């Protein structure tokens, strides 16, 4: 064996040759390792913004997905329970910087209807007298109800057993003004006949959730009367639909800094003066309830406990909390008629106004119960006609919001569920 072969056999970690030599393997030094890590972190930090959308955009999309899922859950529960179930959201505070935004949503449900204590429980409708319904302070509707029914006759519903001679008194503190008495397809809303002078039976004296004491007579307005339709004759079976209450599930908390912008959210109404337009926040903090019926369709929308049936579509705008605080922003941002607004300034304003921000998301529900999530597609320029025709900032703002809602509605065919 020559010397070179002998050296190779003796040391597996090195190969010697007359023209080259491979030294034994060694690891990285600490300095080399640190330099490598610094380089990797620098490259990764530069690549992340290119590989993923900004953090707010991701959170807005996640919030819209969460709200869509919660609405679908309420819809399924309504079908399962056979009575209205919905989603409620409440303004986070009564004053800036907490007003104007709802930061959580939760399930609400209509309690099981009350149909009397006996299978013989019945009700009869008395022909209306001179008393009519009126809303507002001092009127028999008080501040609880919409003015849609102003001027409607107030009917007396008398509860008896089937023998018509025995009064069938309703239980105390279970029913409220605003509950609905259903007699077949006839619907009567409980109001105050203005004959009571003290709470809790006088609506305008106790305007927040007044309950009725033991009684066998309810004063109501017929809320779904059709032209030429007559009152139900004789004594009939009935059921009373009570107002909604909060479920036991924990509320949905939107991602930090994200909520429902109540200033931009609202509805399209079918017809009539009770049709809502928007959910403009007022003191105290406002609560909105979107209810589904047992068939999964849109049943009604409550705006601060006022039930509205004639709703075509509900629009909920998911936006940034910092952009939605009612009164906290400079309202001149909404004004594009005051002077020339350059492209770069328009881009800056879009980041400060939820309904002009392309990262915002719409979640809407149409009358059939279809739940739709859509991007806030900014295909209109607020600097152009017709958005600047009126110098009034509020008029301009409303035109911008309506255009943003319309874009969301137009996108429903391709982005909805």
Q: Read off the pLDDT of residues 113-136 as tens digits, 9 standing for 90 and up.
A: 999 999 999 999 987 767 888 777
Q: What percent of the chain has pLDDT over 90?
A: 36
- The predicted pLDDT at position 18 comes to 47
Give the SS3 label for residue 84.
coil
Give the HSE-up count for residue 249: Cα atoms under 13 Å, Cβ half-sphere. Answer: 17
**Which distant-in-sequence residues (6+ apart) come within 8 Å of 207 by Cβ?**
142, 143, 144
C-alpha–C-alpha distance, residues 107 and 89, integer Å: 9
Q: From the CB of residue 292, how many other CB atoms can be counted at a distance below 10 Å?
A: 25
> Averaged over 146-159, what is the pLDDT?
84
pLDDT of 272? 44
Does the pLDDT value for residue 290 go beyond 90? yes
pLDDT score recorded for residue 415: 44
Contact 106, 249 (CB under 8 A): yes
User: In angstroms, what CA-CA distances link 140 with 9, 43, 157, 203, 254?
Assistant: 109, 71, 16, 6, 40
Which pLDDT does position 366 carry in this prediction? 92
Measured distance CA(174)–CA(120) in Å, rounded = 20
Q: Is the pLDDT of residue 320 over 70?
A: yes
pLDDT of residue 201: 45
Q: Label residue 48 by pLDDT band (50, 70, 90).
A: low
Residue 313 pLDDT more than 80? yes
Quick one: pLDDT at residue 199? Answer: 45
**pLDDT-based confidence at residue 29 (cuts at 50, 70, 90):** confident
* pLDDT (mean) for 165-173: 87
pLDDT band at 149; cut points 50, 70, 90: confident
Q: Tell which phi-psi region holds residue 306, choosing left (phi > 0), alpha (psi between -120 and 50) or beta.
A: beta
Stretch 364-389: mean pLDDT: 91
pLDDT at position 77 over 80: yes
Q: What is the DSSP letter of 87?
A: E
pLDDT at residue 172, rounded to an integer:
81
Least confident of 210-224, 339-353, 402-416: 402-416
Expressed in angstroms, the distance from the first to the final Cα of the chain is 82
Closest CA relative to residue 353, chosen from 374, 376, 370, 375: 376
Statement: residue 101 has pLDDT above 60: yes
Q: CA 25, 28, 30: angle at the middle one, nearest 5?
A: 150
| 3-state SS class at 184 | coil
User: What pLDDT is recorded for position 414?
Assistant: 44
pLDDT of res. 279: 77
CB 104 within 8 A of CB 254: yes
C-alpha–C-alpha distance, residues 252 and 107, integer Å: 9
The answer to whether 267 and 315 have CB atoms below 8 angstroms apart is yes
Question: Does residue 200 have a cis bond before it (omega within 30 degrees)?
Answer: yes
Exposed/middle/buried for residue 10 (C-beta within 10 Å: 0-12, 13-18, 19+): exposed
Q: How far apart are CA 33 and CA 41, in angstroms?
A: 12
CA torsion sign, 199 to 201 to 202 to 205?
Answer: positive
Lowest mean pLDDT among 162-171, 194-203, 273-282, 318-327: 194-203
pLDDT, mean of residues 384-394: 89
Query: pTM higher than 0.75, yes or no?
Result: no
What does the pLDDT read at residue 97? 62
In the predicted model, is pLDDT for residue 275 greater than 80?
A: no
pLDDT category of residue 86 using cuts at 50, 70 and 90: very high
């Amino acid at each position: 064996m020559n010397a070179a072969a002998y050296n190779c056999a003796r040391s597996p970690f090195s190969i010697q040759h007359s023209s080259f030599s491979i030294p034994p393997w060694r690891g990285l030094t600490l300095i080399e390792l640190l330099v490598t890590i610094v380089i990797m972190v620098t490259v990764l930090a530069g690549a992340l913004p290119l590989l993923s959308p900004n953090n707010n955009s991701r959170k807005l999309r996640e919030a819209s997905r969460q709200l869509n899922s919660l609405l679908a859950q309420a819809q399924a529960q309504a079908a399962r329970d056979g009575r209205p179930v919905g989603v409620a959201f409440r303004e986070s505070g009564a004053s800036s910087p907490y007003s104007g935004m709802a930061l959580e949503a939760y399930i609400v449900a209509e309690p099981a209807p009350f149909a009397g204590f006996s299978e013989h429980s019945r009700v009869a409708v008395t022909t209306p007298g001179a008393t009519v319904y009126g809303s507002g302070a001092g009127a028999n509707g008080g501040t609880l109800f919409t003015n849609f029914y102003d001027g409607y006759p107030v009917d007396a519903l008398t509860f008896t057993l089937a023998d018509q001679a025995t009064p069938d008194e309703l239980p105390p503190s279970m029913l409220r003004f605003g509950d609905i008495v259903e007699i077949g397809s006839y619907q009567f809303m409980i109001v105050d006949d203005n004959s009571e002078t003290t709470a809790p039976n006088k609506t305008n004296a106790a305007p927040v959730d007044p309950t009725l004491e033991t009684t066998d007579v309810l004063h109501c307005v017929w809320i779904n009367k059709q032209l030429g339709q007559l009152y139900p004759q004789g004594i009939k079976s009935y059921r009373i639909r009570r107002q909604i209450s909060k479920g036991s599930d924990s509320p949905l908390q939107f991602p930090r800094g994200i909520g429902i912008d109540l200033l931009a959210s609202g509805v399209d109404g079918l017809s009539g003066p009770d049709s809502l337009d928007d959910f403009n926040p007022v003191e105290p903090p406002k609560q909105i309830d979107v209810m589904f019926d047992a068939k999964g369709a849109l049943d009604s929308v409550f705006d601060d406990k006022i039930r509205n049936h004639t709703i075509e579509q509900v629009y909920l705008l998911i936006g940034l909390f910092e952009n939605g605080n009612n009164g906290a922003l400079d309202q001149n941002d909404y004004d594009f008629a005051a002077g020339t607004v350059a492209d770069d300034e328009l881009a800056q304003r879009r980041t400060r106004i939820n309904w002009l921000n392309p990262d915002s998301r719409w979640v809407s529900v149409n009358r059939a119960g279809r739940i739709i999530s859509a991007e806030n597609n900014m295909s209109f320029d607020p600097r152009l006609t017709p958005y600047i025709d009126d110098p009034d900032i509020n008029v301009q703002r409303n035109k911008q919001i309506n255009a943003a809602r319309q874009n969301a509605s137009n996108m429903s065919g391709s982005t909805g569920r």
